[in-house]
Chains A and B, each alone.
Chain A
């Protein structure tokens, strides 16, 4: 009782001081949990390699291309109706040794939208492998364009049997660049009877965009995997979280962006600090989590730290977690409660800024690109504050076992005392 009264008074005084500093704030209209109601449904673009090597007869007793075609028929049959799926090929045409032409060969067979399964099947059936090159980088860039630029979940499923044969671009760098463009984009890769270099490149593309890599050796494996990937991608639009792209301040809290509750995406360079600030009302608890995605080959040990500080630099809460080895990301999260002031509804002018700093300790070899930075997913949430310290129980008890023990001791005490009195009375009578 005493402590809570004291706390309330202290909070009230603090709030008064902050009120003077902030003044005239208005409540935001943002409703983070329902998000913008016009979230577009997830989109998938399938990209199929048609280059010459697809003619090889080593995909479970048939040529790679016929395995791919067979798989595509099954995939198209099992496409859920609500899926927005497009189809693109690369390396079609017969440019022969003309690399300049061959490296521009990519075409859209079906635009991203409700799939016209009959037309798509016919389009796939009509394709024959060629003497073509394998311009993966170009195909990925075009596929990203196919998916459009509206906010939403976007996924490319790349099916190829060979590495990019169009130097000098490395498709892995292209993939990382596409993922860093601010629109959520994931590339899943499938290697059809892959050799070592293909595997290297496809794993790198998947890692750079947070996608998955799978190798398939026959039509069944291929169709099973693609169907699963499409199933995963095609979820209800309202269940998709699209992080808002944000640019944290590397300089400090003063010019940091002001964030409301929700999910944000940013990029962090090695050895960079990213600052954000959140207006917090008395009685609100700030919850923040940051996940730094490991999208390139980094040194073995690393960590991520999230720190909450006041505007004048006092530490409020911090959390660091370290990781090591092969992993997809490193996360950290914290809670910080601003005590409420009595039962009064807090007013917007009582709000004060809590600064959030995300920092990392990552390192990488000289051949690993530093730019663009690693992806950061930041969650900011404001919920009802919990008590900052355990309440004083004054040594009092609680619960049925507690009552039972008291009752038992009382009963045994009474009985013993009764028998003692009887014994003494009996002895006295005997005397």
Chain B
């Protein structure tokens, strides 16, 4: 049961902490219900935006971990061809996905007859939010993965729960802040 113990020991604290953050996210949403109901695209696209930034970050962590285990990325905080390729590949994916998400989200809003409020500003806010989160996450996760790997820990167990909850909390938080500032 060594593998079980390793997973459990490495995951329990971060999983609990990140689930508590999930509860804060629920509290944040319920206390800003006027924004959510005033801008229908927000409620339609929010789960997908959370998933998008969470997915891309999870892919990055699991790729970094695998590269570190098989030795294709050295455990040092330095640029490498593999790292740059991962960055560009994931950036292109997130931009394409965001385009698809916005088309689909606005499609649902349009065909369901819901109100379309300030579409250009909302689209800019969404793209800006996701880009800030992506760049921040990339740098933070790369440094954290190296740090954890060098200490003999599995970055998957620590970083994925952390990043999923952070994304679930930070995405609506940043969107709400930007909407309050610009609309």
Are A and B genuine complex partners?
A: no
